[in-house]
Amino acid sequence: MDRIFEYRITSEYSGGNIKTVLKQHFKMSSALIKELKKYDDGIRVNGRHMRVVDTVMEGDLLTITLRDTASENIIPNNIPLNIVYEDEDILVIDKPPGMPVHPSMGNYENTAANAVMYYFQSRGEDRVFRAVNRLDKDTSGLMVVAKNAYIHARLGEEIQTGELRRRYVCIVCGDMTENGTVDAPIKRADGSVINRIVAADGQRAVTHYRVLKRYGKYTMLEMTLETGRTHQIRVHMSYIGHPLAGDWLYGTEDKKTVLRQMLHSCYLRFVHPITNKEMEFHSKCAQDMSEFIQKILEKNA
């Protein structure tokens, strides 16, 4: 599916070449510029096909066309989606617990990717599935899907610079009384494709936490990520002796007691790459998490 962007050249870029406009105004990567060059209508000025080395003058209308096709090997599946926000470039969904983001061996059809692809195709849209922030299968809450490669790249940059902010709510084991920060590098455990560990030769990982409520045996925390390593919150909280409730991978609780780790993506904030408007989204805890909290309250009453 095509996405067309238009830009009226200002005096800042008058006399310069198109590549400069694409790099500086659109903040477009070299790979994406190379992709635009493949098509006759990829780059046009005042309706005429142009090269990236061609110059533009003030008042010229630059039109760029991004071309997309449907993701291969993702089977569209009619799974209900909780859509929080949508426009021509972005889809924000509230993912339920127990739903993987991407298909994998043993689960090709019941993922967020399958659901989103069905949603796109039901609207006659051929798109590639591009998740911006990825959530673990059993982590619920807000995630962003980019509708084209350009938006995906721009939001990815916002993750790197910290402009895209994420907050989570989780319930950890133990009674925590103070706010704090875990600054401990994380790497993949030797011999495992899933497990992560804190290790001196890992990638830098920083997690800030704030105590919201204390329940005696458990504590509810608000988590803010400074980095985005795989399983970061789960690894860091286990590392300081307070694993997430229900985290059978990094904790010690019986999986039968709590069916999944009590972790919810509750807040997203980013700057829209096209409108430059600040976008902010909030999500309440998933139902099973609220029910778990209620059981704790009843037990302590």
Residues classed as catalytic: 136
**Beta-carbon-side half-sphere exposure of residue 129 (alpha carbons within 13 Å):** 22
Alpha helices in the chain, H assignment, sequence order: 18-24, 30-36, 112-122, 149-161, 232-239, 287-300
Contact (Cβ atoms closer than 8 angstroms) between residue 70 and residue 118: no
Q: Please, are residues 164 and 92 in contact by the beta-carbon 8 Å criterion?
A: no
| The token pair that represents 161 in the structure block | 């610079």
Q: How many Å apart are CA 279 and CA 273, to the nearest integer?
A: 10
Neighbours of 188 (CB within 10 A): 17
Taking the C-alpha atoms of residue 170 and residue 123, their distance in angstroms, rounded to an integer, is: 36
Q: Is 1 in contact with 127 (CB distance < 8 Å)? A: yes
Q: Nearest-CA neighbor of 178 among 150, 144, 135, 212?
A: 212
